[in-house]
Amino acid sequence: MEWTGEGLLIGVRRHGETSIIAEAMVVGRGRHLGLVRGGRTRRLAAALQPGNSLQLTWRARLEDQLGLFTVDLLQTRAARLIDDRTQLYLSQLVCEHLRLLPERDPYDRLLGMALRLIDNPPDGAELARFELAVLDDLGYGLDLTACAVTGETGDLTHVSPRTGRAVSRTAAAPYLDRLLPLPSFLTSRGNAGPHDITDALRLTGHFLQTQIWGPRNITAPPTRDLLAEILGREVL
């Protein structure tokens, strides 16, 4: 078995004295792992940094084996990320989200969103949309199309933390202390105003915790709260 494709490196771990196991999101193939022999050597170490784009060739005798990667660097981002703390945290978080996906299923929409986040100035609105898309593709998408109580499709202002369904302003009024705010930019293409980024990331963070991190006994990425604070502060 053999294939070649372009991928975003999202994780590495040591294997033996000089090798690593690389984890990448590959166009048309999804999250894929492979052994890189000599991956800890000086020649390859600079290329094998999460956030870099690589040309990958995967080989294995059988399709369900780990297999071997050979790599060529296509685009280096590591040096730029190190110089920008916010962008570094954002790249790390995006890679952690991609590692939640099942292996070897294509998620090209998420990969495209991830690359845009990493390659552009930090954008809290796009991060919130990306997290909504991760929830959706993992089967836990929020229903933000109509009010769960009245069926109205307009003036949706809150979300039920239990069901993930939107609630209109009128229906939400008696229960504001029990609901999560729904920033309007998540249901339209409008701009994010003051406090919207904080509310949006609080919303997505709640469902990531209750639907994914908690059930899988995963600790939330440690930089996410700090990143949400920075991105929320920057739009004020």
Largest CA distance in the chain: 63
Question: What is the domain partition of the chain in residue ranges?
Answer: 2-80, 123-234
Say yes or no: domain 123-234 is CATH 1.20.1440.120.
yes
Q: What class has domain 2-80?
A: mainly beta
Which of 43-52, 102-111, 202-211 shows the lowest mean pLDDT across its residues? 43-52
Q: What is the chain's percent helix, strand, coil content, to nearest 5?
A: 40, 25, 40
3-state secondary structure of 215: coil
Q: What are residue 70's DSSP bridge partners?
A: 57
Closest CA to 95 of 74, 83, 105, 81: 81
CB 77, CB 56: distance < 8 Å? no
Q: What is the pLDDT of residues 117-158, one digit of tens each?
A: 999 999 999 999 999 999 999 999 999 999 999 999 989 999
Which of 17-21, 77-81, 140-144, 186-190 shows the lowest mean pLDDT across its residues? 186-190
CA angle 206, 121, 185 (to 5 degrees): 45
Confidence check: pLDDT of 236 > 80: no
Mean pLDDT of the chain: 93
**Alpha carbon distance 175, 167 (integer Å):** 10
Q: What is the pLDDT of residues 15-68, one digit of tens each?
A: 988 999 999 999 999 999 999 999 988 889 889 999 999 999 999 998 889 999
pLDDT of residue 78: 81
